[in-house]
């Protein structure tokens, strides 16, 4: 794994650590942040894999778009679009006033993201 890929993976792991910490917080957990950092972790791992495979990832936060690019470069990759959309939507919808993540939203976003994380990490091995 080259240095750029390692840096993307490290940033992704930091997002996952932040999401886990917030979800586990007993005092004033920030469920919006859990959703945001879960999405960011997946996005950064997807970009790490794309770079690892020799593709420059676009500047986008759209997990469905990144999934399509990844599937083109890596035939063994596929992920249900509805799960990608859930994680993406949770990150965006809860960042601004008007909606807030509930504990179940945050737990589900992180659960899905953790599953994606495992598969993406395998692609970097």
> Domains in the chain, please, with CATH?
3-124 (1.20.120.330)
pLDDT, residue 83, reads 97
Q: What kind and span of H or E run contains 120?
A: helix 103-124
Give the span between the Cα atoms of 37 and 101, in whole angstroms: 13
pLDDT, residue 117, reads 98
pLDDT, residue 96, reads 85
Q: Is there a contact between 111 and 86 (Cβ–Cβ < 8 Å)? A: no
* 76 Cβ contact partners less than 8 Å away, ≥ 6 residues apart: 123
pLDDT, residue 41, reads 98
Q: Which two tokens stand for residue 41?
A: 């972790």
Predicted confidence (pLDDT) at residue 43 exceeds the cutoff of 80:
yes
pLDDT, residue 66, reads 97
Q: What kind and span of H or E run contains 103?
A: helix 103-124
Predicted confidence (pLDDT) at residue 95 exceeds the cutoff of 90:
no
């Amino acid at each position: 794994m080259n240095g750029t890929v390692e840096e993307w993976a490290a940033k992704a792991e930091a997002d996952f650590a932040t999401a886990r910490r917030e979800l586990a917080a007993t005092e004033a957990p920030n469920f919006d942040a859990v959703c945001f950092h879960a999405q960011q972790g997946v996005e950064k791992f997807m970009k790490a894999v794309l770079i690892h495979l020799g593709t420059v990832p676009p500047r986008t936060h759209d997990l469905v778009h990144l999934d399509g690019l990844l599937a083109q470069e890596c035939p063994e990759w596929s992920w249900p679009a509805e799960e990608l959309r859930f994680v993406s939507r949770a990150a965006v919808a809860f960042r601004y006033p008007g909606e807030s993540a509930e504990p179940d939203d945050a737990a589900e976003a992180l659960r899905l993201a953790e599953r994606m994380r495992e598969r993406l990490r395998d692609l970097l091995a």
